[in-house]
Structure 1
Amino acid sequence: MKMTFIQLAAALILAGKAYAANLPALTDTCLGCHQSTVSVATGAPLLAGQQAFYLQKQLQQFQSGQRGANATDVRGQQMAAMAAMLSAADIQALARYFSQQQADTPAVAADAALLDQGRRMYIGSCGACHGAKAQGNMAFNAPALSMLNADYIALQLQHFKTGLRGKDKTDKPGRQMALISRSLSEQDMQAVAAYIGAGMP
């Protein structure tokens, strides 16, 4: 039986409303680790304000094993297990939802010399892709960094440097980050992470 345009539109609207009813449960599960009041303790990044394309891609990478497959990446394995339970529609809805939220990122103070080093590192190595204010740049597949804390940024730079991220041949942005990270010293990574985590003063 063929559906008229009006019947099809009505069916889609009803399906969307039914799905929207499930969205709060999904977001509450995410916020158990990713909200600002617990993210430092859990080591999870804040999601509010991140670009939808990037959130969607990361969840897909956790599902496919591009992220979170290494036994030494405990947090990544936790995310892979969570992502495995999501449908494609779940991923799209969560990415859209969190991208539309307002980021709540309290700036954290850091040593002035470290911040100055981080500022120089950011301008020289990061800003061209991630934006002058770490707001991200979809044209370069570069996520926003401004809502991330220093510990999370430093850990991800380490993961890129050691090959826990950015190894897959199909992940061009990840491979670019791995290449950049290998050129950074431990001090460089700590400095740029501190600079971003301090709100880029």
Structure 2
Amino acid sequence: MKAIFSLLTLVLIALPPVAVLLSGKAQATADMPAQAATCLACHGAQTRAASGAPQLAGQQAAYLQKQLQQFQNGQRGADANDVKGQQMAAMAASLSADDISLLARYFASQQADEQISPADAALLDQGRRHYIGSCGACHGAKAEGNVAFNAPALSMLSADYITLQLQQFKAGLRGKDKADKPGRQMALFSRNLSEQDMRAVAAYIGAGMP
């Protein structure tokens, strides 16, 4: 644990000022939680590509809060094969319930920056058909998410991150806890997807759903 936090400290020192790391049009303000700077070491606009971390800005507060709680209680990040999940579990362990609520509300209030990744036309068409047929009913026609269905927004996530999460659901690294109903639904859905299907859906979302 000490090694993880020592490494994180070195990363934070080496990174640009927090205002530079913030997603979209967000600025460092007095109401930014102190813990947000730690989050931005991986989730910031200048660091996401290298860390493989998802964008947090603009995501639903309820979803962000639930994910941090799941990292704390072992529903996520407990499997030895989920290295990034284990890192998040270690970071979430020190957060109080108030910290989690504050961070979730803060990042949800920020404006997401657009990240469009062009993809092959045939792959996009395959992804569009899969999304319309299986994903849109819960995640929305424009991947904006649906709080009533516990479905997060996907529009601000990179194709690589979406692909990884689908792979983890299929492999049982996510969504295997009986108390995680949305996760179990995603795991069930992912089992029917081939690797090509996963990449197609992710490419379609990552390309801005043309």
Q: TM-score, normalising length from structure 2?
A: 0.84
The match for 2:111 among 98, 102, 125 is 102
Alignment partner, residue 167 of structure 2: 158
Secondary structure of 2:209 counterpart: coil
Q: Kindly indicate whether the alpha-carbon contact (under 8 Å) linking 1:157 and 1:189 is maintained by their aligned counterparts in 2.
A: yes
1:188 aligns with 2:197: yes
Q: Which amino acid aligns with 2:59?
A: Q
Q: Which runs of 5+ in 1 are unaligned?
A: 1-19
The range that moved more, 31-40 or 114-123, is 31-40
- 5 Å-filtered alignment, 1:33-182, equals 33-182=42-191
Q: Kindly indicate whether the alpha-carbon contact (under 8 Å) linking 2:33 and 2:102 is maintained by their aligned counterparts in 1.
A: no
Secondary structure of 2:35 counterpart: helix
Secondary structure of 2:124 counterpart: helix
Offset at residue 41 of structure 1 (A): 1.1
**Structure 1 Cα separation of the partners of residues 140 and 31 of structure 2:** 35
Q: Which amino acid aligns with 1:182?
A: R
Q: Kindly indicate whether the alpha-carbon contact (under 8 Å) linking 2:78 and 2:89 is maintained by their aligned counterparts in 1.
A: yes
Secondary structure of 1:146 counterpart: coil
**Structure 2 Cα separation of the partners of residues 179 and 27 of structure 1:** 33
**Structure 1 Cα separation of the partners of residues 154 and 82 of structure 2:** 21
Q: Kindly indicate whether the alpha-carbon contact (under 8 Å) linking 1:23 and 1:93 is maintained by their aligned counterparts in 2.
A: no
Aligned length in residues: 182
**Structure 1 Cα separation of the partners of residues 123 and 94 of structure 2:** 41
Secondary structure of 1:25 counterpart: coil
Q: What is the RMSD computed on CA atoms of the aligned residues?
A: 1.3
What stretches of structure 1 move > 4 A for 4+ residues in a row? 20-23
For the structure 1 residues 29 and 22, does the alpha-carbon distance in structure 2 shift closer, same or farther, using more than 3 Å as the test? Answer: farther
Percent identical: 77
Offset at residue 22 of structure 1 (A): 8.4
**Structure 2 Cα separation of the partners of residues 89 and 138 of structure 1:** 21
Secondary structure of 2:34 counterpart: helix
Cα-to-partner distance string for 1:4-31 (whole Å, 9 max, x where unaligned): xxxxxxxxxxxxxxxx968442111111
Alignment partner, residue 30 of structure 1: 39
**Structure 2 Cα separation of the partners of residues 42 and 68 of structure 1:** 16
Name whichever structure is richer in helix by fraction. Answer: 1
**Structure 2 Cα separation of the partners of residues 71 and 23 of structure 1:** 33
The range that moved more, 36-45 or 94-103, is 36-45
